Amino acid sequence: MPAPGAVSVRRMKRRWGTCHSSGAIWLNSELVKKDPELIDYVIIHELCHLVHHNHSKEYYALLGTIIPNFRELRKRLQA
């Protein structure tokens, strides 16, 4: 998996994280209030975007190989 161009933390209103086309990853500062398992999910979710810059079948296949229970974690994060 490619390394991110840069990683930064900032306050975001609508997202837990984002991966820019340049490879920069931004994480929401509110993540520190979440369980470590959910923080890991967001970080890995964004890292997978370095390989697949979309939410295609291939993207979710990659995510699923790393975090088999990603759907459960996503639901917990959205709750």
Give pLDDT tens digits for 61-70: 999 999 999 9
Yes or no: say if 41 and 6 are a contact pair by the CB < 8 Å rule.
Answer: no
Token couple for 17: 């994280």
> How would CATH label the architecture of 6-78?
2-Layer Sandwich (3.30)
- pLDDT tens for 2-55 read 787 899 999 999 999 999 989 999 999 999 999 999 999 999 999 999 999 999
Tokens of 7: 């990683």
d(CA 56, CA 34): 27
C-alpha 9/C-alpha 31 separation (Å) is 9
How far is it, in rounded angstroms, from Cα 4 to Cα 79?
A: 28
Whether the model pTM is above 0.85: yes
Structural domain boundaries in the chain:
6-78
